[in-house]
Amino acid sequence: MSGPEDLLGKLIKNLVARTSGWTVLAIALILYPGVGLLLPVLLGMSKVFLIEFNTVGVVLAMVLGMGWLDAQLIASERRRLLEWTSNLRLLDSTEFEWLVGEMFRREGWTVQETGRSDGPDGNIDLVLVRDGQRSVVQCKRWNSWVVGVDEIRNFAGTLMREKLSAKSGIYVTLSSFGKQARAEANVLGIELIDSDALLARIERVRRAEPCSSCEKPMVLAHSIHGWWLRCVSTGCNGKRNLSREPGRALDLLLES
């Protein structure tokens, strides 16, 4: 059973995920001066209660502010992963889910990450909502193992549990799908995204700086000579030295 701390954490996480920074700031200001100062004064409370309410107001405002800052840092990390990762196989499972989630965000979906690194996730890593449509995503950062028919059937069972049609399911992997798995998914209507399809979709939503030679997105790199952009397209040696543009390198590192 969830304790009060878990419930508060979930409440703050949901709040900062659905509101703007200005709204969070306004709520924080209401919590501290309103709950911490104005309310006990208006109610004519003693100094003891004034101090207690003041402490509660400060703590709640700080927790809310820290929750918002944490959400912004995570969102920035997701964007950085999608823009600059040239080898998806170097990502861990959590980073892979973040990257896939960011890809769907740029395709117009509202995304909720539900995968857990400390326990079972119920075969659901992402929940997507767009134009009233709800879909769920299972992410498998497998490199060597082909996704088999059993995994597809298990995912279909998850969709039934969630009272969703099979067409609402999306299965994403860095590997590939076996022949039987593809046939089963085709019959059920589950969308499959293998490594090639995933890379193609990521390229369509990336906003990284294009190569001057081939127009493909370049990636940020670092050497003993400083920061530079390099093209990773096969056969292209395009690059751009950023040693004289430290501000541009910083912008790319912090790009939002």
Which residues form the domain of 72? 4-79
Co-location of 114 and 160 in the same domain: yes
Q: Give the model confidence (pLDDT) of 160-214 as tens digits.
A: 998 999 999 999 999 999 999 999 999 999 999 999 999 999 888 876 677 777 7
Co-location of 179 and 92 in the same domain: yes
Which residue carries 């508060």 as its tokens? 8
Is pTM beyond 0.85? Reply is: no
Residue 117 has what pLDDT? 45
Token pair in block for residue 52: 């207690």
Q: Give the model confidence (pLDDT) of 107-131 as tens digits.
A: 889 898 886 544 444 678 999 999 8
Co-location of 191 and 220 in the same domain: no
Q: Give the model confidence (pLDDT) of 222-251 as tens digits.
A: 777 677 778 877 788 887 777 665 555 555
Which backbone phi and psi does 126 adopt, to 5 degrees?
A: -140, 140
Co-location of 134 and 216 in the same domain: no
Co-location of 33 and 127 in the same domain: no
What total of structural domains would you count in the chain?
Answer: 3
Across 178-204, b (16+ Cβ under 10 Å) vs e yields beebbebbeebebebbbbeebeebbee
Co-location of 102 and 187 in the same domain: yes
Among the candidates 49, 79, 109, a domain finishes at 79
Co-location of 90 and 195 in the same domain: yes
Co-location of 175 and 101 in the same domain: yes
Q: Give the model confidence (pLDDT) of 14-71 as tens digits.
A: 666 666 666 777 777 776 666 666 666 777 777 777 777 777 777 777 777 777 777 7
Among the candidates 36, 59, 79, a domain finishes at 79
